[in-house]
Structure 1
Amino acid sequence: MMQERITRLAFTLLPPLAIALGVAATVRGDLLPPLPRGLMEAGPWLAALLGAGLALAYGRTRVLVFIGLVLAVYLGAVFQLRPMAYQGAGDPAPALGYALLTFLVPMIAVANSFWTERYHIAMDLGLRLLAFGACAGIGVVLIRQYPDAAEAFLLTIHWPAVHWPGLGMPQVSSWSLLLGLVITGIALVRGPRPFWAAQWVGLLGMGWMLPQLFHAYALPLSATAILIILSLAVIQESFQMAFRDDLTGLPGRRALNERLQRLGRRYAIAMTDVDHFKKFNDTYGHDLGDQVLRVVASHLRKVGGGGRAYRYGGEEFTIVFPGKRAQQCVPFLDELREAIQDYDIVIRDEKNRPEDRREGRARRGQGRGQTVSVTISMGVAERDAEHPDPEAVIKAADQALYRAKEGGRNRVCTHEG
């Protein structure tokens, strides 16, 4: 499971990280040719329109708010930090405003990320804007009422040993950014998703682009890249919702249909069914039934022989073996069946369920708690003259599965033409 999570994390994080690193390399190496100023500055707005359109289409209010945060930091850098740097010391109000912005943005981004999307998109967006706008408004009021205290908190270097002037923001703002990266990083590791990867890379990108204040195109290019990363996250998550089963994490029926259209002339298909699953559900409840499906799916994901598992529906799964004959698949399917048969699932009374995972593992090691095991039956068929297309092969594999059920279950049967 750990290896699977690391793999998912790598595939989720690498695309947005590659875009961010590409932008960083472009800026550092001055790789872009001279471009019209208006064209470069239009990039963030065009990318924001694209991201907002996708977010509205798919009901992603969290992404909409994050787009607003990226634009706020970009505009704050262009219209507050850059003029302050050109003019030198003077009125502290712009510096306080920018410090408040960079201090609040990571905190609002984290709160927005963990705020689930439960209501109608207009109500959800309105509540978020009201809550976060209130936070910003309170900050502005405090700055105006207590400017000396605000300056002492926001602009003072409290701990010189860990201050990095090159970051381009006050120390408390850098702490806020670091805390936001840690929290979203933990969420990304625990549940690798394009959304969390985009949030983490987006926060990192906003922190990176601020020191590039006087570069010809660093600010608009960085903001554009972050907004494109957010847009890609919406597309990726929508794709996963359509093609991946939420319960088991396996590709779903739609993904299977897509794969069946791209098979060659030689392939085998196995149909898999959890034995006595309805009785198991009636006896132990649907929660444990869902756990069984996840356990079975985690084993099916490891099938050898070049096979790829899909959730067909209910307790049924499909395994596609490109370039294989049915008999060639039997050893891999038998190995899979035996691994599931030997896996013990612990049943605990909900009232006595340990809160700590270590305690749960200790109890399991002491033999406490009832355990159950499940078995699967499998039928496999191959493409031949009598079964010239995937639909016919699936029907033949279903017939072989029926024979496996009739023959006593917990076995693999091949179709006999």
Structure 2
Amino acid sequence: MQNLQLLARRTFPALILLTLCLMVAQSAHPWLLRWSGQLTYLPFLAMGCAALVAIKFSRSRMTLYCVLLLLPYAAQLYSGQLWLNPDIVPLPLLLMAAMAWLLWDKDRGFAPVNALLGLIQIGMAIAIALLLYTRLATLSLNWLAPVQQWLYPTYSAHFSALDVSLYAILLLTALLRIGLSPTNNHCVLFVSLLLLPLMQWHGPHQLLSIQISLLAMALLLLLSVILDSHNMAFRDELTGILSRRALMQYVQTLGKKYVVVMADIDHFKSFNDTYGHDVGDQVLRLVASRMTRVTGGGKAFRYGGEEFTLIFPRREPAQILPHLEALREDIANYQMVIRSPDRPQKKTKQTTKSRSKKSSPGKQNVQVTCSFGVAERSSKAGEFMAVMKQADMALYDAKKAGRNCVKTRT
């Protein structure tokens, strides 16, 4: 569910931008038509800038995407032909196969061996798509004709039933990939695939539509690099919440009234010693996800190790204590299930019989609790680090009081 939300949040803005670009192109404003004829090199310049930034950040897939997206534009611009073999194999379809293949791959950098491997993969994907297309083209697809006329009667002259079928399969394959990992980079690369069918469509003002769409795509590729780099710098890699660096930046925006809460996972070292670091990482993710749900206007950060920081701007301790108590109970009431390493992987008759005697064989429920220390900015503690020190002392008071509680220092 979380992946679907990220997918929607990171894909829809790009789709809206591309749709607006196509609407602007279809308006056929005289200034746009004049620009289209005089600045045909501008998409090359924009995509070249995007490729250079991608190289700087070692985004090999994005660099290849920039090059592959320009190939149909260059082919149509200088030769007026989008087919490797006229009336047989459309170039955009073959390039989509290569780009969908790359989407499932990882960024390999630009070492000579890795670069050669990337080119080999592109060649293999194009060869497989070419072979599949030529094989399927000999088959009778008359049964798809009614569907073709019903779904896209206006564009049936531009796309055969085979073209539409293969485009749909490749897009669904790419959509599955970004559903598994909806990063900004993956989502923008997926959206760029949608430009390829546009390049095969011979409609009014097609060249202008492609030019504006390529400019928008170059902007989106640049933004994806910036956003992913920002997330790497300001989000904790393990838990996904804001990091200590983001906390220090956020502090600069605080006014003269705020509350700082230091939170610590109780007996965290024993989790690592007893169950291993993998379980310890699960505990950190669990607590982090609960911290981000705190109510009362709080903002959660991972301070380091098993410590978290909550900031409540324009609040007083009395106003946030009910919200902290609700957060503490939410964490404490969650039963975390840990699977024993010696649990049998496959069901047997013996394990089936034992289930009647034991409800959860090979599993153990553990309880995670947190202690909280609260401090507010005051005349005695006017600087943020002084307030944090007070909150840390309050956290120490909570530990001495038996843990799993909230303590305040003024």
| TM-score bracket for the superposition, by shorter chain length | 0.7 to 0.9
Is 1:333 the equivalent of 2:324? yes
Paired residues for 1:44-63 under 5 Å? 44-63=43-62
Q: 1:138 to 1:293 in 2, by over 3 A?
A: closer
Bigger drift between 374-383 and 174-183 goes to 174-183
Alpha-carbon separation, structure 2, partners of 1:225 and 1:212: 20
Aligned to 1:376: 370
Identity of aligned residues (%): 34
Tell me which amino acid in the other structure corresponds to 1:93. Answer: N
Aligned to 2:307: 316
Bigger drift between 367-376 and 9-18 goes to 9-18
Q: Secondary structure at the match of 2:374?
A: strand
Picking from 19, 24, 30, the partner of 1:26 is 24
Alpha-carbon separation, structure 2, partners of 1:211 and 1:103: 12
Is 1:129 the equivalent of 2:119? yes
Q: Once the 2 structures are TM-superposed, how far is the Cα of residue 399 of structure 1 from its aligned partner?
A: 1.1
Q: Secondary structure at the match of 2:371?
A: strand
Is 1:36 the equivalent of 2:28? no
Deviations 1:167-207 (A, max 9, x none): 73443333232122212222333433212211221112332
Gaps of 5+ in 2: 348-354
Picking from 97, 115, 123, the partner of 1:107 is 97
Aligned to 2:381: 387
Q: 1:325 to 1:139 in 2, by over 3 A?
A: closer
Aligned to 1:153: 137
Aligned to 2:155: 166
Alpha-carbon separation, structure 1, partners of 2:311 and 2:304: 15
Q: Secondary structure at the match of 2:70?
A: helix
Alpha-carbon separation, structure 1, partners of 2:403 and 2:312: 22
How many pairs were matched up?
Answer: 392
2:97 and 2:129 in contact (8 A); partners too: no
Alpha-carbon separation, structure 2, partners of 1:71 and 1:304: 48
Alpha-carbon separation, structure 2, partners of 1:275 and 1:151: 63
Tell me which amino acid in the other structure corresponds to 1:12. Answer: R
Is 1:95 the equivalent of 2:95? no
Aligned to 1:240: 231
Aligned to 1:223: 214
1:102 and 1:173 in contact (8 A); partners too: no
1:26 and 1:32 in contact (8 A); partners too: no
Tell me which amino acid in the other structure corresponds to 1:150. Answer: T
Gaps of 5+ in 1: 85-90, 144-148, 357-362
Q: 1:412 to 1:354 in 2, by over 3 A?
A: farther
Tell me which amino acid in the other structure corresponds to 1:14. Answer: F
Q: Secondary structure at the match of 1:388?
A: coil
Q: Secondary structure at the match of 1:347?
A: strand
- Computed over aligned residues only, the root mean square deviation of the Cα atoms, in angstroms, reads 3.0
Aligned to 1:176: 166
Alpha-carbon separation, structure 1, partners of 2:140 and 2:204: 24
Aligned to 2:274: 283
Question: Which structure's residues are more often helix, by fraction?
Answer: 1
Picking from 273, 295, 298, the partner of 2:289 is 298
Bigger drift between 13-22 and 405-414 goes to 13-22
Picking from 171, 180, 183, the partner of 1:193 is 183
Q: Secondary structure at the match of 1:262?
A: coil
Q: Once the 2 structures are TM-superposed, how far is the Cα of residue 274 of structure 1 from its aligned partner?
A: 0.6
Q: 1:330 to 1:112 in 2, by over 3 A?
A: same
Deviations 1:305-359 (A, max 9, x none): 1111111111111111111112221111111111110111111134647699xxx
Q: Secondary structure at the match of 2:178?
A: helix
Q: Secondary structure at the match of 1:317?
A: strand
TM-score by length of 2: 0.86
Q: Secondary structure at the match of 1:380?
A: strand
